[in-house]
Chains A and B, each alone.
Chain A
């Protein structure tokens, strides 16, 4: 199925990364449908059940100091059980904090990001709204690099 996907014909996006890692601020993005219970709504899987080719294209900023107990996940196409016990399987915020504590990474972003990865063909809202919002938040937080982790 995936072998049949067309190849993207535009020039790939590229930026050199020249900042020393131990001075850099790193952010994380997961498509595992993670959200913060009590603060955010889950992704709209009910609508996805009614409209099986649609996926919630919105964004959930995830505070870097979020407690595991407050983590929720809504995704119809991956198992979220392990994620609800250990967010680091999909969004390794604690592992990143450890690398910062060890001096290998300069700092962690004050907030990371989650989206829900099942999107309609073209992912139009991701391109026009969600992606630009993520970029704006990264710029405002002076994030030097964002690790994108598809779930």
Chain B
């Protein structure tokens, strides 16, 4: 859902995740998952080629 809205609002950079609402970075107490998600967002920050860049991560 969120990437649909990000596309509509032309966000500068969007990391698409498939976690439930309220869990943007993953499961409770799953440090590795949370860190991978945050790291993916940071990689998008530095590597995005231009506006409306979007990367979807496969983790659920």
Contacts and interface: CB of A to CB of B under 8 A. Distances in A.
Interface stretch (A41-49, A53-61, A88-96, A131-139): A88-96
A89 to B, nearest CB: 5
In terms of DSSP, what is the predominant structure of the interface of chain A? loop
B25 A149 contact: yes
Contacts of B46: 17, 21
In terms of DSSP, what is the predominant structure of the interface of chain B? loop
A77 interface: yes
Contacts of A78: 21-22
A8 B21 contact: no
A90 B10 CA distance: 22
Tier of interface size on chain A: 35 or more
Contacts of B24: 30, 32, 89-90, 149-151
Interface in B37-52: 37-39, 41-42, 45-46, 48, 50-52
A95 B12 contact: no
Interface string A64-96: 000000000001011110110110111010011
Contacts of A7: 7-8, 10
A5 B35 contact: no
A104 B9 CA distance: 30
Interface string B4-15: 110111111000
8 contacts: A5-B4, A6-B8, A7-B7, A17-B46, A79-B21, A86-B28, A89-B26, A149-B25
